[in-house]
Amino acid sequence: MKFSPLFWPIELRGNTISILDETQLPGKEVYLKVKDYRGACRAIKEMKTRAVGQVLLVMYTFLLEAGKHKQGKGLLSHLDKVAAAINSSRPTLSFKILTDMVLGWAKAGQSLQKCIPGFLEMLKNKRIQQAEEASHLIDDGDVILTHCNISGLMPLIGSLCLKQNKKVSFFTTETRPYLQGARLTAWELTRAGFDVTVIADNMVAQLMHEHKVTKVVVGADHLAQNGDIANKIGTYQIALLAKHFKVPFYVICPPPSKAQSGKDIPIEIRPDKELLEYQGIRFAPRGVKGYYPAFDVTPHELISRHIYLGV
């Protein structure tokens, strides 16, 4: 099965983590080299990788750091420090689920060199299963709207649909202000040979009014116990429109966190300059302030179906 580079954008080679720099796509495929947890946290904060890339980076970072220390109190103390740094890197994705898992293995005396590769292999298989489940919700001729980027799953869903003799096409929002939809999703879907059309984020209502969308499929960065999800800013308004126009709204989810509802999910507020400039070029007037919540919360009642990771 052929995957998009975004499906598994990070590798650990010896004492170096290789990260596909998603901020450089689609212009260049550049791989960053990270040699310690500080560099990994910096890559997360600067959005060099996101979505599943962050999960991979967390796991490979622990594997890298564990390799520098022998088993014992020194190792556990160091891993606690690594976990604290990762947990504070970005607030909305629930890194603590991942770091607690690794710390639990280490404190139980289990080998991280066995546990982490085993977890990652399971994660890969579960992601394929999510794509398969999503493909069975798609009908022949469907036009799928997606927002932001689901780390390689959208072209995989499309490919599985083709194997089921179902032809599909895609609309993707630009996904302001980082343009993940225009830069990443459109890039990987086009590479996979699919018909994809990019729209501005504020065109969704008109698109649905014209009956040009039959399904919505998005990802989620955080899943609460009650089914509320946090995803890239703009997801909530698409869910509201999908409900109004009776368009099924499907969400590919991570495991649930301890948050009881969306009210308990912290929303990351990113630097306003990311909204006021692009690639270092400012397009807003000097003196203007920006407000950039990177995520919003979609209530569970707007979601037609959750597609769970189940790890």
Task: Identify which of 254, 257, 267 has the alpha carbon closest to the alpha carbon of residue 297.
Answer: 267
Per DSSP, the three-state class of 34 is strand
Q: How far apart are CA 249 and CA 85, in angstroms?
A: 35
- Which is catalytic among the residues 142, 201, 221, 228? 221
21 a catalytic residue: no
Q: How far apart are CA 154 and CA 33, in angstroms?
A: 27
Q: How far apart are CA 28 and CA 20, in angstroms?
A: 10
b/e 265-297 (16+ beta carbons within 10 angstroms → b): beeeebeeeebbeeeeeeeeeeeeeeebebbbb
Show the beta-strand stretches assigned E in 52-123: none
Q: Could you tell me which residues are beta bridge partners of residue 197?
A: 171
Order the strands of the 169-173 sheet from edge to edge.
Answer: 196-199, 169-173, 143-146, 215-219, 249-252, 305-307
Active site members: 221
